[in-house]
């Protein structure tokens, strides 16, 4: 097949389908003009497509004048199948009525591959951003615009810094570019910013493209919006570390927080206070009104204790009707007693349980770092024992560890 840049034209007689072709079509199909004129139209079209092409021609007779377009697979003299875009029409020329087929030439060698790459770049579901070696944006695709809100003309000539969300420190970007310079690429999660100012997480890969001499010609970033995945991950993390009834941190998360706080307290020589709070006579509520009423009381207890906290204090559900509190700033024995009094007053406000007013009360055990222990296990054990000491002494009060 010769390289052809002009459309091929095939003239068909309506009844006999006798053919006459221009030079371009002869070159496309590798036939001489007299070979096409002496041959049959069916020999030029792939067998499986010939019935459909015949129907197209019949449709032209039924709805004349009309024009139809289709991709028809032609067969060259050598037997090669060539899918070519074809326009079919019925007209009248100097020799009478006829069908005219205008056949687009096949693309030059290599063009089809480039066209395919161009379509992939344009329509791939991943966002793609291309810069030159100086980090100025030279191209983006449709998915980039859909995810970021920026149209191509708004970002050309600018740098990817316009996408930065401000959530990452300079060290993050420094390590990213160290990886790109060392390995030619970087892959990871990053928070970027849409045109409307919303920050969003994306999974990003950056590659450096070099010329034959090893100089960087382009940087290519390919990214996916992973907002849904991150939200799901955060929700699962919340479920793993939160108490489902009260919404407070659970025992596991509280111990992690206590361990971290102890490290800071040891470094800064600051005291801490751990309070074990156990609701008095909770079993009576469950026995008289059922577990649904007990759950209501626990949720209200959690809400009231949260209201007794200062900014850096922490409260969590330890289990059953037990809650724990960690006081961290400016801790003194007098200050802890003040907090215990606030808890008692907060719980004493009557709570309606299925029409019955309840005055809640709690037994509170207190241990202090470093006086009662230097590890989380020691502080928890001492506060727990102090709380049981209050219960044995008549409930509704507080007590310090020995």
Cβ distance 397 to 348 under 8 Å? no
pLDDT for the residue numbered 359: 77
Nearest to 143 by CA among 115, 122, 157, 120: 122
pLDDT band at 19 (very low <50, low <70, confident <90, very high): very high
Q: What is the bridge-based pairing of β-strands 127-132 and 216-225?
A: antiparallel
pLDDT band at 106 (very low <50, low <70, confident <90, very high): confident
pLDDT above 70 covers what percent of the chain? 95
* Region 98-102 average pLDDT: 89
Nearest to 74 by CA among 114, 24, 117, 16: 24
Mean pLDDT, rounded, of the chain:
87
Please name the fold of domain 112-230. Beta-Lactamase (3.30.450)
Q: Comparing 32-46, 142-156, 282-296, which segment has the lowest mean pLDDT?
A: 282-296
Cβ distance 245 to 317 under 8 Å? yes
Please name the fold of domain 8-103. Beta-Lactamase (3.30.450)
pLDDT for the residue numbered 293: 82
* Region 16-37 average pLDDT: 90
pLDDT tens digits, one per residue of 111-150? 555 666 677 777 788 899 999 999 999 999 999 999 999 9
pLDDT for the residue numbered 220: 93
Distance CA 200, CA 226 (A): 8
pLDDT for the residue numbered 69: 81
* Region 68-96 average pLDDT: 87
Tell me which range, 3-12, 240-249, 377-386, is most confidently predicted by mean pLDDT: 377-386
pLDDT band at 327 (very low <50, low <70, confident <90, very high): very high
* Region 23-34 average pLDDT: 90
pLDDT tens digits, one per residue of 338-350? 999 998 888 888 8
**Would you say the CATH fold of 112-230 matches that of 8-103?**
yes
Is 4's pLDDT higher than 70?
no
pLDDT for the residue numbered 325: 92
pLDDT tens digits, one per residue of 250-266? 888 899 999 999 999 99
H-helix or E-strand spanning residue 163: none
pLDDT for the residue numbered 3: 64
Q: Does domain 242-400 have CATH number 3.30.70.270?
A: yes
Q: Is 400 left (phi over 0), alpha (psi -120 to 50) or beta?
A: beta
Q: DSSP per residue over 283-317, as a string?
A: HHHHHHH-HHHHHHHHHHHHHHHHTT--TT-EEEE
Nearest to 132 by CA among 241, 217, 10, 52: 217
| Domain limits, the chain | 8-103, 112-230, 242-400
More confident residue, 55 or 148: 148
Is 383's pLDDT higher than 90?
yes
pLDDT for the residue numbered 301: 86
Phi then psi for 73, rounded to 5 degrees?
-90, 105
pLDDT above 90 covers what percent of the chain? 45
Is 239's pLDDT higher than 80?
no
pLDDT tens digits, one per residue of 187-224? 999 999 999 999 999 999 999 998 888 889 899 999 99
Nearest to 22 by CA among 77, 108, 31: 31
């Amino acid at each position: 097949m010769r390289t052809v840049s002009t459309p091929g034209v095939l003239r068909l007689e309506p009844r006999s389908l006798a053919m006459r072709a221009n030079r371009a079509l002869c070159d496309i199909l590798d036939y001489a003009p007299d070979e096409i004129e002496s041959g049959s139209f069916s020999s030029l079209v792939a067998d499986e497509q010939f019935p459909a092409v015949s129907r197209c021609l019949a449709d032209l007779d039924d709805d004349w004048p009309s024009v139809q377009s289709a991709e028809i697979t032609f067969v060259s003299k050598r037997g090669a199948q060539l899918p070519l875009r074809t326009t079919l029409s019925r007209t009248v020329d100097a020799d009478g009525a006829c069908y005219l087929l205008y056949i687009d030439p096949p693309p030059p060698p290599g063009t089809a591959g480039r066209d395919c790459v161009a379509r992939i770049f344009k329509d791939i579901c991943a966002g793609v951003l291309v810069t030159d070696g100086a980090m100025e944006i030279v191209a983006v695709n449709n998915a980039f615009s859909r995810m970021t809100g920026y149209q191509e003309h708004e970002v050309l000539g600018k740098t990817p810094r316009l996408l930065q969300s401000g959530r990452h420190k300079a060290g993050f970007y420094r390590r990213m570019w160290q990886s790109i310079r060392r390995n030619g690429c970087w892959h990871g999660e990053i928070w970027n910013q849409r045109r409307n100012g919303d920050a969003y997480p994306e999974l990003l890969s950056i590659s450096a493209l070099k010329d034959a001499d090893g100089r960087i010609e382009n940087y290519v970033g390919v990214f996916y919006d992973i907002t849904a995945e991150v939200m799901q991950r955060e929700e699962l993390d919340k479920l793993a570390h939160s108490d489902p009834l009260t919404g407070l941190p659970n025992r596991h998360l509280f111990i992690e927080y206590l361990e971290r706080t102890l490290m800071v307290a040891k470094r800064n020589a600051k005291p801490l206070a751990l309070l074990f709070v156990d609701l008095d006579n909770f079993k009576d509520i469950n026995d008289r009104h059922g577990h649904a009423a007990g759950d209501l009381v626990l949720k209200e207890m959690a809400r009231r204790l949260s209201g007794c906290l200062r900014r850096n204090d922490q409260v969590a559900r330890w289990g059953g009707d037990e809650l724990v509190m960690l006081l961290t700033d400016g801790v003194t024995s007098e200050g802890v007693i003040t907090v215990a009094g606030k808890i008692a007053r907060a719980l004493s406000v009557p709570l309606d349980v299925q029409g019955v007013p309840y005055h809640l009360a709690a037994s509170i055990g207190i241990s202090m770092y470093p006086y009662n222990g230097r590890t989380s296990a020691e502080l928890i054990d001492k506060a727990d024992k102090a709380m049981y000491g209050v219960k044995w002494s008549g409930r509704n009060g507080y007590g310090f560890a020995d």
